Amino acid sequence: MIVIMEGLFLIGLGKLPMNFQRQFKKNLKTIILIQISTFFISILAKMLLTELDAFLEEFGPEIYMLYLNRDLVRVKVEATDHKTEKVSDAVFEWLKETDILMQEVTLNERKPQFEFDIFRKLLERIAAQNVKCDQLDPFSTPIPSLAHFSFGSILCFKSREEASDQLLEALRDDNCSMIGLYGSKGSGKTALAKAMGEKVKYLKIFHEVLFVTVTQNLNIRTMQEEIADLLDMTFDRNGEAGRARRIFSRIESMSRPILVIFDDVRVKFDPEDVGIPCTNRCKILLTAPSQQDCDLMHSQRNIQLGPLSIEESWTLFQKHSGIHDEGHSSSFDLLNVAREVSFECEGLPRTIKDVGSSLRGKPIEEWKVSLDSLRHSMAKWQIFLSFRGEDTRYLFTGSLYQALCQGGFKTFMDDGGLHTGDKISPTLLNAIEESRLSIIILSEKYANSSWCLKELVKILECMKLKNQLVWPIFYKVDPSDIRHLRKSYGEDMARHENNFGIDSERVQKWKSALLEVSNLSGKEYTTGYVIYFKRLLFALFYNNPFLLY
């Protein structure tokens, strides 16, 4: 402004040349406008800076509070006991929205020009997000019990909760894609696996759970059809490989994780042959009778489902037997028998349920009969095999042993290392005494072994004293030759008489035992393992040796 005033003064005095006067007048308006603009811009800038300072004073604490709230929420999520509490979905949604909001703040801060309107809208959203944080109630809710997820079939016992916690931990582990759950027949593996399937869906760990039963005689096509039904698929190809590709592709296309449960795995197979990928997005939980079965499937973590404790068993037994139901009078004697029956069920939930339900409202006599039956059936060994090793171990008896085990029978077969000294080992004695049934394979050289004859005497004693069952199998021998000590049986007994004396007590016991066993109902075997074993298993299931014929 001073320059302009001096220029006007000089023009008034006429001291400036004409050409300078014309140029000065020409630019005078421009100069004045520039000066005026500069003046007003400085005033406007001061106003804007004042408003910006006020905005920043408001924005700073809000963004700081958002960062603080986010960290506090994260700490609270981590501190939650995820075994018993489920964090609300609203909490995770709030954390997700907060992260997105913070990313927007960072992006706008990096822009070369400050966009006031954008930051004003961000401030409003940040303030609203802070208010929303205060409204995260409830933050978490208790996870329902196993009884809820099993629809009442599993009670909340400590032993089951412990197995459930281990399974949940493994299913959440990103480094574990195949988990094995193993335990005895009737221990409740299937029920627990199904309950865990419901639980992980509730916790949103997996979006889909497929339950597939593995048959004893592995059938890939049956499993594929079961999976197809669950995924609402139809096959246009009949080949197993084509079906596997279709299932594999379908699972891989799913946006969220999936859990596949293979129930009752007893033989090794490759899940990919069925169409199931084994990845973090598609985990596999398999149930099996033993840890060895899990190892054969290359399970990365194996969890054992043990029996119920004595008190847990008694609690479950009372529920199913109704022994303490209102209006049901139970004598002291009945309660004692009931306790023993519960104990003999060996902590197996399925056995406890079946036995308890079958005895509901029954007289004490039936309880005692059931107790006697359980003491035999729940013994360590159900079947004892007596045989001459050199004759049949690697042929008939070995195949019979495999067939019995596959049929679910706890079968004792001496491996040849228990015949030491002159007496039957305690292991053999216990196996004979604890078994419900002894199967005696009377082969050509059976009587040649003094060990076999000692076993035979003990078996027949248990038959009389313990009411055990004895089934003889006449393996390529005629029962009458045993009865009358002819052919190899006559020769072997003559040798024993020479060694121990014709009137020795042990030889007389052996002769009496051979006579007795030859008169028992049994089956004369000639040839054909498969048909014979099928008949034998059928007879065993119905506890009737006459079904062998």
C-alpha 32/C-alpha 10 separation (Å) is: 17
Per-residue pLDDT, 526: 60
Contact 259, 171 (CB under 8 A): yes
- At 73 the pLDDT is 92
Kindly state the percentage of the chain with pLDDT values over 90. Answer: 41
Two tokens, residue 359: 């005895």
Instruction: Kindly state the average pLDDT of the residues 448-452.
Output: 92
Residue 543 pLDDT level (bands cut at 50, 70, 90): low
Question: Does the pLDDT value for residue 378 go beyond 70?
Answer: no
Question: What percentage of the chain carries pLDDT values higher than 70?
Answer: 79
User: What is the band of 511 on the pLDDT scale with cuts at 50, 70, 90?
Assistant: very high
Query: What pLDDT does residue 417 have?
Result: 45
* Helix (H), strand (E) at residue 208: strand 208-213
CB under 8 Å to 464, separation ≥6 — which residues?
none
Q: How far is Cα 132 from Cα 115, in angstroms, rounded to an integer?
A: 26
Residue 126 has pLDDT above 50, yes or no: yes
**Mean pLDDT of the 131-140 span:** 90
What per-residue confidence (pLDDT) applies to 35? 57
- What pLDDT, on a 0 to 100 scale, did the predictor assign at position 324? 77
Say what the pLDDT of residue 211 is: 95
Which helix (H) or strand (E) segment holds residue 474: the answer is strand 469-475
Q: How far apart are the C-alpha atoms of 26 and 13, rounded to whole Å? A: 19
Greatest extent of the chain over all pairs of C-alpha atoms, in Å:
168
Identity of the amino acid at 313: S
SS3 (DSSP) at 343? helix
Handedness of CA 475, 479, 483, 484 (dihedral sign): negative
Q: Which of 178-187, 234-243, 402-411, 509-518 has the highest mean pLDDT?
A: 509-518
Cα 253 from chain centroid (whole Å): 25
Say yes or no to pLDDT of 94 above 90: yes
The pLDDT confidence band at residue 61, using thresholds 50, 70 and 90, is: confident
Residue with more model confidence, 187 or 7: 187
For the stretch 100-111, pLDDT in tens is 988 887 777 666
Mean pLDDT of the chain: 82
Q: Name residue, tokens 């039904």.
A: 229
Alpha helix stretches (DSSP H) within 14-115: 18-79, 89-109
What phi and psi, each to the nearest 5 degrees, are found at residue 454?
Answer: -65, -40
Sheet with strand 301-304: strands edge to edge: 208-213, 258-263, 282-288, 178-182, 301-304
pLDDT-based confidence at residue 480 (cuts at 50, 70, 90): very high
Do the Cβ atoms of 108 and 118 come closer than 8 Å? yes
Q: Name which residue leads in pLDDT, 386 or 421.
A: 386
Higher pLDDT: 328 or 336? It is: 336
Q: How far apart are CA 376 and CA 352, in angstroms?
A: 16
Angstrom distance (rounded) from CA 493 to CA 445 = 11
CB atoms within 10 A of CB 447: 27
Decide if 342 contacts 317 (C-beta within 8 A). Answer: yes
Q: Which residue has the higher pLDDT, 31 or 305?
A: 305
Distance CA 523, CA 220 (A): 37
Using one digit for the tens of pLDDT, what is the confidence trace for 219-239?
A: 899 999 999 999 998 887 678
φ, ψ dihedrals at 411, nearest 5°: -115, 135
pLDDT digits (tens, 9 = 90+) for 485-510: 999 999 999 999 999 988 889 999 99
| Residue 380, helix vs strand vs coil | coil
Dist CA 323 CA 241 (whole Å)? 55
pLDDT of residue 549: 37
On the question of pLDDT at 10 being above 50, the answer is: no
Report the pLDDT value the prediction gives residue 11, as an integer from 0 to 100. Answer: 46
Q: What value does the mean pLDDT take over residues 527-546?
A: 62
Instruction: Give the span between the Cα atoms of 437 and 377, in whole angstroms.
Output: 9
pTM as predicted = 0.60
> At which residue do the structure tokens 């995820």 appear?
82
Distance, in Å, from the CA atom of 161 to the CA atom of 159, rounded to the nearest integer, reads: 6
DSSP code at position 28: H
**Which string of DSSP letters, residue by residue, matches 380-401?**
S-SEEEE--HHHHTTTHHHHHH
Question: How far is it, in rounded angstroms, from Cα 474 to Cα 388?
Answer: 12
Position 547 scores a pLDDT of 36
Of 53-67, 99-113, 164-178, 322-336, minimum mean pLDDT range: 53-67
Q: Which two tokens stand for residue 317?
A: 């037994």
**127-141, 193-207, 237-251, 377-391: lowest mean pLDDT where?**
377-391
Question: What pLDDT score does 465 carry?
Answer: 83
Q: Are 475 and 525 in contact (CB under 8 A)?
A: yes
